[in-house]
Structure 1
Amino acid sequence: MCYSIALENGGTVTEVDTDTAIRNFYSAKLSRYDQSVFLLQNIHYPYAAFAQRDTSGGFIWISQPEWLQLPEGSVRFLSPSELTRDWHDLRGELSPEELDQIHYWNPQTVGEIVFNTWD
């Protein structure tokens, strides 16, 4: 997915990380001219998001860059407001196993669950 998005937008993929030993998402850095963005994609569900790296190596959620047009598809790109939302309102949509993991790892937001580093 990341290669076709980059190509269709005149950009390149400059970094790919598919190591899911301790996390549940892939990441790719898409670059065009002097602009870049990370695209994260959950490995279990059709969710993706845009981010930038923070100083500690984590990710900060950002909106879709203006220069990046997305194709129609089955992957849903989550907005920063969706990702920073408190997860407690979504309790009814989660399985008992997911809730056990959430209680153990104590994430605070939807983004920390959808793109986690405890898998």
Structure 2
Amino acid sequence: MPSIDPRACRATWHAAARAAGGRVEDFVEQEYPQNFHSASISNRNGTHVALFHAHYPLVSFVGDRRYWYTDEFQEPPAWATVLIGAGFVVLSAAQLLSPLEESDTSALSKAEWRQIKHWRPQSLGATLFNSWD
């Protein structure tokens, strides 16, 4: 699988913190079996937590840190456009919470389908940002 350099994610997250008028709380690199890095920014509006997919330039926002995610996805804040400008795809809550059956899954491999059949994710977000072994 391809890999996204965590240093690029971290640098972009620092740029996002500047745009948000906040500061980076942390950036935690992916550890097996998670397939995402997680990061947080604090500003006057509270704490914002993002997940950076470890293999594709995808970003989601969630309410808090968890080991895995099912339906905790949130709309990205306005300053997330900084991430888009750096080449990341920032996914909306509507996209992430949509049923997997409504997504184009034609590029998935047999191995990925075996994982989906085993773990039975209900949404696109739960499929993309997971902790499957």
Give the TM-score, by structure 2 length: 0.77
Q: 1:43 to 1:57 in 2, by over 3 A?
A: closer
Q: Is the counterpart of residue 100 in structure 1 residue 111 in structure 2?
A: no
Which contiguous aligned blocks of 4+ residues in structure 1 show a shift greater than 4 angstroms? Answer: 56-59
Give the TM-score, by structure 1 length: 0.85
Displacement of 1:65 in angstroms is: 2.1
Map 1:14-33 → 2, pairs under 5 A: 14-33=25-44
Q: 1:19 to 1:44 in 2, by over 3 A?
A: closer
Identity %: 26
Q: Is the counterpart of residue 51 in structure 1 residue 62 in structure 2?
A: yes
Q: 1:64 to 1:91 in 2, by over 3 A?
A: closer
Contact residue 2 and residue 39 of structure 1 kept, 8 A: no
Map 1:56-95 → 2, pairs under 5 A: 60-66=72-78, 68-71=79-82, 72-89=85-102, 90-95=104-109
- For this pair of structures, how many residues does the alignment match? 117
RMSD over aligned Cα, in angstroms? 2.0
Q: Which runs of 5+ in 2 are unaligned?
A: 1-11
| Larger relative strand fraction | 1
Displacement of 1:88 in angstroms is: 2.0
| Larger relative helix fraction | 2
